Structure 1
Amino acid sequence: MPDRADRVRSESVTAGWGLRHRPPEQSLFSGIYGLVLASALVAALDATGEKADPGGDALWVLLTALASGAAHGYAHVIAQRASADRAATAGRGRFVVAEWPLVAAVLPTVGILLAAVAGWWPEATAVNAALLFNTVALFGWGTWAARTAGHGWPSSCRAGGMDMLIGVAIIVANALIK
């Protein structure tokens, strides 16, 4: 039977793991932003009545994510220059590189669109699959962010549900516009 010392050590190891593997706030923000961006883009690029071009749409989603990540990072550089700490010049390039979660978050959407290029399904199905995937992923990222902040499971699931509503809003808007 384990004694109290074993239990305390086990709990501290678990807490230490959580702190070491805790994603930075910026990564969570960029990941959620990337999912919303990918959803909005894939919904907007899928125009009814046009010739389907899932390859071109995938390229636009990827290029827009890269441009958005670079713009966000550069905005941080500008803000740092304008701050009172003008002497801090090291790491400005890291601001741009730190936006990688935004680009990573659009990669599943790009992959789903490329599957349509390969002929696995029509572009309309790819768009619907990407919107559904991103909506579920928004729930996951929102829940993860709340758990990282120390919230319990019920509260974290509510936060994830609120994030998921953004994806649902994009799906509803896509259906109403088309």
Structure 2
Amino acid sequence: MSTSTTLPRRPRRREEPLQRLLFGGVYGSVLASVLAAALGHDTGTSDPGYDAVWVLLAGAASAAAHGYAHSIAHRTGDKAPVTTTAVRSMLTEWPLVAAMLPTVAVLFGAYAGWWGEEAAVDVALTFNTVALFGWGVWAARVAGRGWAAACRVGGVDMLLGLCIVAANVLSK
């Protein structure tokens, strides 16, 4: 009878690149929306350039944390050092950051004086809500669902964005 307290190691199931893209797209769109909705609720002067940088940094930090957590949680007995697998795992989270770039771009547009920060937040929330619908449709179609089912999945994803918009409106 074995008295070992360690769990047997299972081989890590590798996610497909398309799965990571879809996951990162949804996650990044929701995160960017939440961060954008939180803007403009302080009592100081608005600085959309500063806000854009912080949205980008939050996205990079979230991607790094998610990749690192995956690396640690799925640690296997392979010969690669923890550092190597952690860095590799963090780099595969680029879709999360990429999904946040439209929000960053809109905020930099406000910084450039093309529009106000409130308008930029409204555009970012609208864009991300529509993007969530698109991510949901794409994911369902990849999974082999028909167009009607894919649109329902997209609608459910879009509800995430609409909940953030509603929270933004109610909090003002």
TM-score by length of 2: 0.85
> 1:49: how far off?
4.2
Quick one: structure 1 residues 47 and 173, their matched pair in 2 at CA, closer, same or farther if it must change by over 3 Å? same
Between the aligned partners of 2:167 and 2:55, the Cα distance in structure 1 is 19
Match of 1:142 among 101, 123, 136: 136
Give the conservation status (yes or no) of the 8 Å contact 1:69–1:100.
Answer: yes
Q: Tell me, what secondary structure is at the counterpart of 2:80?
A: coil
Q: Which runs of 5+ in 2 are unaligned?
A: 1-15
Indicate the residue corresponding to 1:116 in structure 2.
Answer: 110
From the superposition, tell whether residues 77 and 50 of structure 1 become closer, same or farther in structure 2 (CA, over 3 Å): same
Q: State how far apart, in whole Å, the 1-side matches of 2:133 and 2:27 are.
A: 13
Tell me by how many angstroms 1:89 deviates. 2.6
One-letter amino acid of the structure 2 residue matched with residue 94 of structure 1: R
Report the equivalent of 1:57: 51
Deviations 1:100-155 (A, max 9, x none): 00000000000000100111111000000000000000000110000011101000
Counting aligned pairs with the same residue, the percent is 58
Deviation at 1:48, TM superposition (A): 5.5
Moved beyond 3 Å, runs of 4+:
none
Aligned counterpart, 2:33:
39
Q: Does 1:27 align with 2:21?
A: yes
What is the aligned residue count? 154
C-alpha change, 1:49 and 1:30, in structure 2 (3 Å) is same
User: Could you say which structure has the larger radius of gyration?
Assistant: 1
RMSD of aligned Cα (Å): 1.5
**Corresponding position: 1:89 with 2:80:** yes
> What TM-score do you get using the length of structure 1 for normalisation?
0.82
Query: What is aligned with 1:107?
Result: 101
